[in-house]
Amino acid sequence: MAAPAAADTLAEVPPRGPGAPLSATSERSGYVHLGRIPESTPGRRPVDPGEAINSKTPLGQLVGTITPADLHYERSHAGVPDIDPALHRLLVHGMATRERVFTMDDIRAMPTTSRIAFLECTGNGWENWKTAPPDVTVQNTHGLVSTSEWTGVPLAYVLDLVGADPAATWMLAEGGDGAAVARSIPLTDEIIAEGMLAHGQNGEPLRPAHGFPLRLFLPGLEGNLNIKWLRRLKFGDRPFMTRWETARYTQLQADGSARQFQLRQEVNSVITAPSGMMQIRPGFNRVTGLAWSGHGRITRVEVSTDGARTWRDAAIAGPALPKAQARFQADWVWDGTPARLVSRATDEKGNLQPDRARFIAQTGTNALFHYNAQQTWAVDAEGRVRNVLA
Amino acid sequence: MSWPRPGVLGLLAALAGGLAATAAEFGRPASQDEIALWDIDIPPDGTGLPPGSGSVARGLQVFEETCAACHGDRGQGGIADRLVGGQGSLGSAQPVKTVGSFWPYATSLFDYVRRAMPYPAPQTLSDDDTYAVVAYILSLNGIVPGDATLSRSTLPSIRMPNRDGFVPDKEFSVIHNARQSPPRTP
């Protein structure tokens, strides 16, 4: 790496002067390098973007809690379709008295709600199920979670609009992508009250990678349920048993059986700095990271610098919104000896993020999805930070 | 959170601020013919399976022409998923999840192949060829005999080896909500 530019005295700070012309969209500073990384299944890095199945958020470089839309993680099953909103239709049918077809103009004219919430791929954390690759960053290990302000039509409004049959307990949601991804959504009170047909993200229309022009958004539930490019909702009284809720997104247990419809994202946290592949210096370091839970608000985050032997409370910076990422931080003076940084979060329902040994004892190592064990970063005597299992 | 609720039977629903809208203002009724065009999901009881049929022998041809380039000869796997084998491996350290070892319903295979495959041109196989290629994949896994022909009357009764391998989470195994017994307000 080139030596950073120095401005040792104020006299060396460049003089001021007129800047670049104003533009229609503002770009990031040329000194800031932020990007997602397209990846394939665990253990395959780096991959040709043409073979990527997901693209991960640079958690280690972001601040606060909101993810810029272009850096929001993505998992797509058949690429990103290019949809003309004028030709997009939403069909709502099945167990309902008024089966209807809606245009995007119809949908944008309906009442909306907005909410800041996280979205997380069910596979987030899958790097560390069996082994811990030492050369990965927090973007590799945890980059399949992001937080946005989502804007859309409340699901309850649509249920009323079409006269969904009270006996309808499940809803099939289907996308307009090449894979026609489809999932059965259980119509619990929580999902009816909190779900939305989202068309906005962080103040602008959805971007194509995130479902333009319309997606389902279900706060706290696994990413795959939040169907992108939404074009069909069908009401029924039992699950539809699509490929994505049988062959995929089910949790193989050690005995060979599989948990099905494990839909909630569990309490989780990760230290984003110092984190994998970073370099620290002895003395003061600020430990910071993100915590989130599909059960609600984060109420406590603890950090350990001695490999989970002793813990202290981190400060939660800013509001900890329900089912949104919360930013935490703690001061740390590093004495230059090997250390192990760990965080663990607790949510408002009292769920405590498990340590890896307890998590694996309960789940085995074959489940592939819903990994929420505590993340450990090892710091060696040279200040190199590396991914380790515990 | 509160939002205006559309009136039942298209009655006026009052919006905050004195605006008013009717339910009928949004969208238009869906005709049964156009619903049929998009209503492609096939649940385990086979509801919605189209007429037609396909044999294992025809399925072999379809597979070699349109699937083997990605899924390998006889579904052994290639640049895309392996579709055969793995039975008995699910409880081991190296589980092999395939149609034969893991999928609980043959109807889900028909549904998935029809909606999503072949990957470059989904929904281009005829219904007959979809039945046929499903029959071929199932025969490779020893689930139907090599002379089988599948149709909507036979597909739903196929018992997959891992049919009972799934345990739904308690929270979502029986769904209750307040709509089921709506409070009667005037």
Q: Which tens digit of pLDDT belongs to each residue from B132-149?
A: 999 999 999 999 999 999
- Count of CA atoms in the C-beta half-sphere (13 A) of B82: 14
Alpha helices in chain B (DSSP H): 32-38, 56-66, 68-71, 106-116, 127-140
Which residue in the set A167, A172, A259 is minimally distant from B41, CB to CB?
Answer: A172
The verdict on a CB contact (< 8 Å) between A241 and B105 is: yes
The verdict on a CB contact (< 8 Å) between A243 and B112 is: yes
Mean pLDDT of the region B13-31: 61
pLDDT band, residue B18 (cuts 50/70/90):
very low
A257 CB neighbours in chain B (<8 A) are 90, 165-167
The verdict on a CB contact (< 8 Å) between B43 and A257 is: no
Task: Identify how many contiguous H helices and E strands chain B contains and give both numbers.
Answer: 5, 6
Q: Is B183 on the interface with A (CB under 8 A)?
A: no
- The most distant pair of C-alpha atoms in chain B lies apart, rounded to whole Å, by 69
B15 CB neighbours in chain A (<8 A) are 111
The verdict on a CB contact (< 8 Å) between A243 and B122 is: no
A98 CB neighbours in chain B (<8 A) are 23, 29
pLDDT band, residue A42 (cuts 50/70/90):
confident
pLDDT digits (tens, 9 = 90+) for A136-176: 999 999 999 999 999 999 999 999 999 999 999 999 999 99
The verdict on a CB contact (< 8 Å) between B38 and A109 is: no
pLDDT tops 50 at residue B114: yes
Same domain, yes or no: A197 and A296: no
A264 CB neighbours in chain B (<8 A) are 171
Domain of residue A177 covers 85-258
pLDDT tops 70 at residue A14: yes
Same domain, yes or no: A127 and A254: yes
Looking at residue B182, its pLDDT comes to 57
Q: Is B185 on the interface with A (CB under 8 A)?
A: no
Residue A303 vs residues A272, A281, A289, B47: alpha-carbon distances, Å: 12, 19, 10, 53
Q: Is A179 on the interface with B (CB under 8 A)?
A: yes
* Count of CB atoms situated within 10 Å of the CB of B142: 13
Question: How many A/B residue pairs have CB atoms within 8 Å?
Answer: 179
- What are the residues whose beta carbons fall under 8 Å from the beta carbon of A347, sequence distance 6 or more? A267, A293, A295, A296, A297, A298, A299
Q: Is residue A377 part of a domain?
A: yes
Same domain, yes or no: A237 and A292: no
A256 CB neighbours in chain B (<8 A) are 90-92, 95, 165
In which region does residue A10 sit, left (phi positive, over 0), alpha (psi from -120 to 50) or beta (all else)? alpha
Q: Is A106 on the interface with B (CB under 8 A)?
A: yes
Same domain, yes or no: A381 and A338: yes
Q: Find the closest chain B residue to A160 by CA distance.
A: B6
Domain end marker among A258, A292, A324: A258
pLDDT tops 60 at residue B186: no
pLDDT band, residue B21 (cuts 50/70/90):
very low
Closest alpha carbon to B39 in A217, A92, A226, A83: A92
Same domain, yes or no: A290 and A235: no
Q: Is A174 on the interface with B (CB under 8 A)?
A: yes
Task: State both tokens at A226.
Answer: 């939040």
Q: Is residue A70 part of a domain?
A: no
DSSP for A271-320, please give it. EEES-TT-B--SEEEEEEEEEE-TTS-EEEEEEESBSSSS-EEPEEES--
Interface of B with A in 76-135 (CB under 8 A): 90-93, 95, 97, 99, 102-105, 107-109, 111-112, 115-116, 119, 122-123
Same domain, yes or no: A158 and A230: yes
pLDDT band, residue A359 (cuts 50/70/90):
very high
Q: Is B35 on the interface with A (CB under 8 A)?
A: yes
Same domain, yes or no: A114 and A214: yes
Domain end marker among A258, A286, A302: A258
Q: Is A113 on the interface with B (CB under 8 A)?
A: yes
Q: Is B173 on the interface with A (CB under 8 A)?
A: yes
Looking at residue B124, its pLDDT comes to 97
Q: Find the closest chain A residue to B98 by CA distance.
A: A247
Q: Is residue A178 part of a domain?
A: yes
Q: Is residue A263 part of a domain?
A: no
Same domain, yes or no: A110 and A244: yes
Q: Is residue A48 part of a domain?
A: no
pLDDT digits (tens, 9 = 90+) for A321-348: 999 999 999 999 999 999 999 999 999 9
Is the Cα dihedral A362, A368, A370, A372 positive or negative?
positive
- Report the distance separating Cα A123 and Cα A119, nearest Å: 12
Q: Is residue A155 part of a domain?
A: yes
Same domain, yes or no: A181 and A226: yes
Q: Mind telling me how many Å the CA of B20 is from chain A's nearest CA?
A: 12
Looking at residue A50, its pLDDT comes to 81
Same domain, yes or no: A273 and A240: no
The verdict on a CB contact (< 8 Å) between A261 and B172 is: yes
Same domain, yes or no: A246 and A273: no
Q: Is A91 on the interface with B (CB under 8 A)?
A: yes
CB-count burial class (<10 Å; 0-12, 13-18, 19+) for A81: middle
Q: Is B16 on the interface with A (CB under 8 A)?
A: no
Same domain, yes or no: A343 and A244: no
Q: Is residue A34 part of a domain?
A: no
Q: What is the CATH number of the domain that holds A315?
A: 2.60.40.650
Q: Is residue A39 part of a domain?
A: no
CB-count burial class (<10 Å; 0-12, 13-18, 19+) for A87: exposed
* Count of CB atoms situated within 10 Å of the CB of A326: 26
B40 CB neighbours in chain A (<8 A) are 180
pLDDT band, residue A36 (cuts 50/70/90):
very high
Interface of B with A in 48-77 (CB under 8 A): none
Domains and CATH numbers, chain B: 7-39 (no CATH), 43-157 (1.10.760.10)
Looking at residue A296, its pLDDT comes to 98
- What are the residues whose beta carbons fall under 8 Å from the beta carbon of B95, sequence distance 6 or more? A252, A256, A366, B86, B89, B101
Q: Indicate the residue type of B186.
A: P
How many domains are there within chain A? 2
Q: What is the CATH number of the domain that holds A143?
A: 3.90.420.10
- Report the distance separating Cα A132 and Cα A91, nearest Å: 45
Domain end marker among A213, A239, A258: A258
pLDDT tops 80 at residue A113: yes
